[in-house]
Amino acid sequence: MERLIYHIDVNNAFLSWEALQRLQEDPTSIDIRTIPSAICGDPQKRHGIILAKSPLAKQYHISTAETIQSALKKCPQLQLYPSRYHVYQEFSQKFHTLLTHYTDCIEPFSIDEAFLDMTTSYHLFGNKITAAQSIQTAIYETLGFTVNIGISTNKVLAKMASDFEKPFKIHTLFPDEIAEKLWPLPIERLLFAGKSTCKKLTMLGISTIGDLANTEPSYLIPHLGKNGMQLYQYANGIDASPVQPERPDAKGYSNSITIDHDVTDTREAKQILLSLCETIGFRLRKDEKTATCLSVKVKDCFFKTKSKQCTLAEATNHSQKLYELACSLFDTLWDHHTPIRLLSVHATKLSDTSYQQLSLFDNEQSHHNNLDQALDQIRNKYGSDSIMRASFLNTTYDPIVKRHTNK
């Protein structure tokens, strides 16, 4: 299946978010998006740079990263507002949260950008374009700001597409459109082509992305090193990098799976939970950690998410105990008929096992520890599938690895 990647980019993020926040604080105040305005460092000290500017300020040729002093020379009536990063973080969080209604695979690229892998979910919202329109409309109607969306088969092309014409636009840049839409652009427009690199390329007679795409890599590498090969691939629309969701919190161990089919059977759902808990238990023991808090998240086929957590009476890294608790939480979350798309287990509130206090009379705990230790040793030596629970026989789920396989 050919990948479908969206790049979502908030239009004029800091200024839009500042305008919305000020209107929330005082509905009678002016919308700073409608006047020459800019977000910058402390305007009273008249130092720093322009972080964002309004459309009217842009008409004065004011640019991002320009000094305040330079911007005021171009537009003396420019209204300056100090940046409030905590406000922008709150809007960013709402922005990224809304995107989870459309796909599970989201990679935050910056505070105001994100890549979405829509390969398996775009059809739920129509075709490739109508799905993007749905995202645009939902963000505008729910959060009050606009976004650009670039659509392609990989991240580089999607990012390039979102930068074409702004604001509030949707652009495609599929492989068969590269020659027409990408190659005529100046080399400075290519992703990750910095000023120094562009200067070298210009000296080599390369002024457009098309020039670079049609230059032999053997000619580029002596001048640009490995970066030359990467830029050559980008110019030709080659990028195999996956959309990578944010890493789990370092203070916890989590495991999740986006299932390639809707799960409606309780036994199958709990089989998946067992696989997730086996992996988490294995990782906890490997790092000599125990957990006293466990949470389970369920996302259904309508992208509605429910989660619940519980605090353990005693810290543990025993897979069976984690599984029993996960099943208990799952039973309270799921209505046992709505199809499930994603399951996740997260263990937190960690402690070091070297400081764990054990009861002299807890023979069952000792038995569990010995069993887990024996299983871990076998798996470490012979592989994760060298020994497994009988319940995993004749199933499509790995007994320890989180991936859903077809073996």
Cα–Cα distance for residue pair 254/220, rounded to 1 Å: 43
> CB within 8 A of 40, min separation 6: which ones?
48, 49, 50, 51, 68, 71, 80, 81, 82, 83
Cβ-count burial 309-340 (b if 16+ within 10 Å, e if not): eeebeebbbbbbbbbebbbebbeeebeeeeeb
Angle at 389 between CA 387 and CA 394, to 5 degrees: 95
- Catalytic positions, written as ranges: 113
CB 300 within 8 A of CB 335: no
Sheet architecture: strand order including 340-352:
253-263, 340-352, 289-300, 305-316
Q: What are phi and psi of 258, to 5 degrees?
A: -90, 115
Cα–Cα distance for residue pair 320/311, rounded to 1 Å: 16
Say how many residues make up the chain: 407
CB 296 within 8 A of CB 307: yes
